[in-house]
Structures are given as structure tokens and as C-alpha cells.
Structure 1
């Protein structure tokens, strides 16, 4: 796997690069601002871009805006955003642009190496990895959520799907059987009217519905 890292903190940038190297993941470019990120993704066409939200010059939302632009310039570019806080406005824009190959993690998650690496691989493969806190805040902003018909347990399952967990991982988290999770997932798809599609994965479409973005 080939990645581009955009992070203004030298220590974190180098730390993430070394962490990835230990997992056999190659960093083809490590940059410190949005413009350099755009140049790097256009040049290298990486398997994943890991982007800090707050970068120079104003240290507000340059990184997230650059990530959105990077996906516009390089369609289907997987992007994993790292942030100290949830930047609600642009998080919505990033996710609404297509949840396939998108991750949004709070930086504290990087400390859990196995969780972070799993998120990197998942997003690079076209999946999602959305921090629970991000999900919570986006749910609060929703005026009307299309998952009202789901049971409490089905909502719990869908919330874990939004974090990128597999059925087996969901079963372990909820302490239920794999068969029970498969049944819940089937019910979720049925209630949301998500028929099989060749162009869009139903789990991704369910995540969008959960966040009221689809």
C-alpha cells in the first residue's frame, strides 16, 4: 500500500510514517500543508491520503478542505482524516461526497496502533472508519433521521457498521452471535430499502442513511 501523509506537526508526521512502515505500508510523500497534499496526490495517485484537519496558514480547516478537493481531483481517492476535534461542517461535506473510502478519526485514536492500522487498511480498501464521537455529533445535527423505523439494537448495529466494524467484530462488541448480527444487518437493509447494487455497497449506503447524508 502507498500513502501520502499531510500533517504540519513534524513529530506526528514522522511518527505516523514510522508506524506505517512497521506494518509494511509505504509513505510516498509526507507534506505539511494543503497545497502540497494536492500536488502529492496528483503526482503519486496513492492508495490512501492521511490528512490532518488543521494545517497552515490559519490552522482551522485547511486540511479538511484540501481533502475534499483531493477527492475531486482524484476521484475515488481514499482519505482518512485525523482531527483533534470534530469539524462538523466539512465532515458532513466530506462524507456526503461519498462514504466509500472515507475515514474520520480523532487523533487520540492513533495511540491505539492496532485500531489505527485497521482503519488505514479498511479505508484504503474502500470501506469506512468513522469515529464514534463524529457519529454522535452528526446525529445531533440531524433534524429527521431516516432510520427511525429501526429498533434500538438495529441502530446499535448500524452505528458500529458506520465505524467500519465487520459483522464478526460487531457480534463481539455486542456479545451476540454472528447469526444474530447477520439477521440485524438484513433487517436494516430491508427497512432502509437498500437492494443489492453493482455500483454502491449497501453497507456504505446504510452508513450514509444513518448519518442522514444519503
Structure 2
């Protein structure tokens, strides 16, 4: 019986003593596969797995989502809506306590981190894949909702007399990038996993941004 070699690629064996070359080729191959994974597989679970988790027949799931890409987009959209809702709720509670816009920016930034920490899988889907697949060129990307929330928080500071030399958009992007970057480190083995470490970083970022503003 012949062996099935349809899934293998024929390559010439490296000369003796060139094991490092093969190792480098293996690592390069993995890198290519990982890049393809980011662009080709937005949802790392099957629709049947999802149906089994819900406790319904797979056919029932297909009534709502035609394929994995459609489901991934829905999960991402829901994630952006929920994180913005959490930030707005934190903002409203702070405003009710009489907090100024700077403090309201701080609590919204912490609310963003709280959501990301509690919803790591959803956050990974929202930001860790080729997000351009979640919207057609004529559609508004679901992340726009979150971007607008950051921008509104900075504009609220401007309404109270604070201004930044580089403008509101640059400031909003600086805050978002710094906080999300720190969260990414926090979730890795490189970072600390103490939630207080995230809170301390968020407070420092916001304090630094507010200190750099002028009236």
C-alpha cells in the first residue's frame, strides 16, 4: 500500500552539518503559517463547536450566521459595543460624583482595561487578527465606535480648558496605544499578571497626558 504524500513537500536534504539551516527554514515556515492564520482564520473555533457549547443543533446556528467570518464579525462588533458601554457607564458614574473631565478620562481608561482583562478571547479577536476583514470598504469599521469614545473623552477635557500641542486625535491615539500595548505585555509571560499593575500604569499614562496639557 503506497503512502499518501499529498500533504508533504519534497525538499532536498541539507548537507551534513547544516542542521542550523533546516532549523531556520522550519522557523520561517511557522512564521508564514502564523501570518496566514491571522488573515485567513478569524475565528479559531468551528461553528459546530459553538453550537455544541450553546446546546443547539448546528443547523440552528446557520440560521443566524452563514459562516465563521460572519460570526467573527458579529463577535467583534459586540465586543466593541460592550467595551464602549462599560467606558460610558464609568464616565457617567464619575460625572455623577462631580469628577472633572480628567478623572472621567482616567476611569474610562481603567474600564477599557477591566473589559480587556475579563474578555481576553474577545479582545484578542477584536485586535489580534486582520481587522480589515470585519468590514467592507463601504462600511464603517466597528472599532470606529471605540475610537470615537477615546476622542470624546479627550474633547471633554478640552471643553474644560485643557489643550495639547499635537491636538485631540494624537492625544487620544497616544492614550489608547499606550494602554493597549501595556495590556498586551501584561497578558504575556513577560509582563506581570497583577491587575493592580495595569491600574497603576493607566493612572500614570493619564496623569502624564494631563500634565502635558496647557490651558
TM bucket (normalised to shorter chain) is: under 0.3
Greater gyration radius: 2
Flag the structure with more relative contact order, 1 or 2, with Cα contacts below 8 A and sequence separation at least 6: 2
Structure 1 length normalisation: TM-score?
0.28
- Which of the pair is proportionally richer in helix? 2
Structure 2 length normalisation: TM-score?
0.27
